[in-house]
Amino acid sequence: MNGQMAIYPGSFDPMTNGHLDILRRGLAVFGHVRIAVAFNKNKPSGMFTPPERVDMLSDVTAEFAERVSVDSFHGLLVDYCRKLGAGTIIRGLRAVADFEYEFQMAMMNRHLAPDLETVFLMADEAHFYTSSGLVKEVVMLGGDVSGLVPAVVERELIAKASAS
C-alpha cells in the first residue's frame, strides 16, 4: 500500500456491494480513498439526491473512516482531482460491457490532464452483474435485492419504492 490518495468517482445512485468491493480493493493499494459522488447541478437526475447518496456512503464506510472520505462534486473530474492534489482515479470494471465506456472516459481524462492516472480494479465475480440501475429496477418491481446492496441502502431503496 502506498500513502497516496486516490479518488473513486461515480454516480453511486445508490451504492452497491460491487462499489464496496472496489473500495476495499482500492484500500489495499492506496492509503486514502475519497469517494466522490458526481452530479450535474443543471440537470439533476437519479433516484437519490447527492446528499442522500453521500449519507449512505458515509454510513456504510464508517468502519474505514480514517482512510475513506466521502464527498460530492459538480464539474470536471480532472478539476476536482487537481483541487485536491490527487494523482489517481479508481474505476471498477465488470464484464466486457464496461470496457468501452471506461476506456473512452479514461482517454478523455488523460487528454484533459496527462499527469492523472486512471487505475482499474475488478470486483469479485459475485458482483459482475450488480449495477445500481438494475438494483433500482428490481426494487421498484417489488423484487428482493438483499445481498446485492448494504442493508442501509436496501432500506432506503424500499422506502423510495413505497413512496412512489
The nearer residue to ligand ADP, 109 or 130, going by C-beta atoms, is 130
Cell 466486457 locates to 96
> Of 10, 26, 50, 150, which one interacts with ligand ADP (CB under 6 A)?
10
- Contact between 56 and ligand ADP per CB under 6 A: no
146: buried, middle or exposed (CB in 10 Å: 19+, 13-18, 0-12)? exposed
The helix (H) or strand (E) run that includes residue 24 is: helix 17-29
β-strand partners of 69: 34
Residue nearest to ligand ADP (CB): 18
Residue 66 DSSP label: T
The counts of H helices and E strands in the chain are 6, 5
- Told to judge if 155 belongs to the known catalytic residues of this protein, a careful annotator would answer no
Q: Which stretch binds ligand ADP (CB under 6 A): 13-21, 43-51, 54-62, 109-117?
A: 13-21
β-strand partners of 116: none
- Told to judge if 94 belongs to the known catalytic residues of this protein, a careful annotator would answer yes
Number of residues that make up the chain: 164
Q: What is the DSSP string of 80-122?
A: HHHHHT--EEEEEE-STHHHHHHHHHHHHHHHH-TT-EEEEEE
Closest separation in Å from C-beta 117 to ligand ADP: 15
In angstroms, rounded to a whole number, what is the distance separating the alpha carbons of residues 44 and 59?
Answer: 23
> Of 7, 22, 57, 60, which one interacts with ligand ADP (CB under 6 A)?
22
Closest separation in Å from C-beta 31 to ligand ADP: 20
Q: Which stretch binds ligand ADP (CB under 6 A): 6-14, 110-118, 134-142, 155-163?
A: 6-14
> Of 4, 58, 69, 131, which one interacts with ligand ADP (CB under 6 A)?
131
- Told to judge if 160 belongs to the known catalytic residues of this protein, a careful annotator would answer no
Binding site for ligand ADP (CB under 6 A): 10-12, 16, 18-19, 22, 91-92, 94, 98, 123, 127, 130-132
